[in-house]
């Protein structure tokens, strides 16, 4: 599996699936979640509402993942995952790791060969970027899937540096 880190906009990535750092309601929010919902169009919100009405009436649990179509995005699918919020006492690294491994499992089940991840739980959820990078890279490297390429799409040069440092470790 090829792993890479780039500075950019996750909504413009030419990959099979983009991962959304969603909240448990799946009904949109700020940051990456808001950007993905805006770029995918209103159909994404409708698909998320249907998931809530049927399969996930209580919302998506932290560390889990679920897919919807990508609608107006270049990516065919959006894989929604809910990262742990350090400000709410969700400090278990295994929950954060699960966001990445479960997202890869879902992508693999869809037949995706390329996936773009944001820095799940970095930023407003309070996790230090170097910790997010370490956990994300370790989780993705340990995942056993048919995914050929994983791209970490970062929003700042500091975030990019943190991920590149982890990718450079053997």
The residues carrying an active-site annotation are 33
Residues 6+ apart with CB under 8 A from 147: 1, 104, 107, 108, 112, 113, 114, 115
Nearest to 33 by CA among 170, 130, 155: 155
- Residue the block writes with tokens 């919302």: 59
d(C-alpha 74, C-alpha 94), whole Å: 31
What sections of 10-112 are H helices per DSSP?
Answer: 31-40, 42-53, 93-110
d(C-alpha 131, C-alpha 112), whole Å: 27
Distance of CA 6 to the CA centre of its chain: 15
């Amino acid at each position: 599996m090829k792993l890479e880190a780039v500075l950019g906009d996750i909504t413009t990535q030419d990959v099979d699936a983009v991962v959304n750092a969603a909240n448990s309601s799946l009904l949109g929010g700020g940051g990456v979640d808001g950007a993905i919902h805006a770029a995918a169009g209103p159909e994404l919100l409708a698909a998320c509402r249907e998931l809530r009405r049927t399969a996930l009436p209580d919302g998506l649990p932290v560390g889990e993942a679920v897919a919807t179509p990508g609608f107006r995005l270049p990516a065919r699918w959006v894989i929604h995952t809910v990262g742990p919020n350090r400000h709410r006492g969700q400090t278990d690294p295994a929950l954060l790791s699960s966001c990445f491994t479960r997202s890869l499992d879902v992508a693999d089940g869809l037949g995706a060969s390329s996936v773009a991840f944001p820095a799940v739980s970095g930023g407003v959820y309070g996790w230090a970027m170097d910790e997010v990078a370490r956990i994300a890279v370790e989780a993705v490297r340990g995942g056993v899937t048919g995914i050929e390429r994983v791209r970490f799409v970062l929003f700042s040069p500091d975030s990019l540096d943190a991920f590149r440092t982890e990718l450079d470790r053997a």
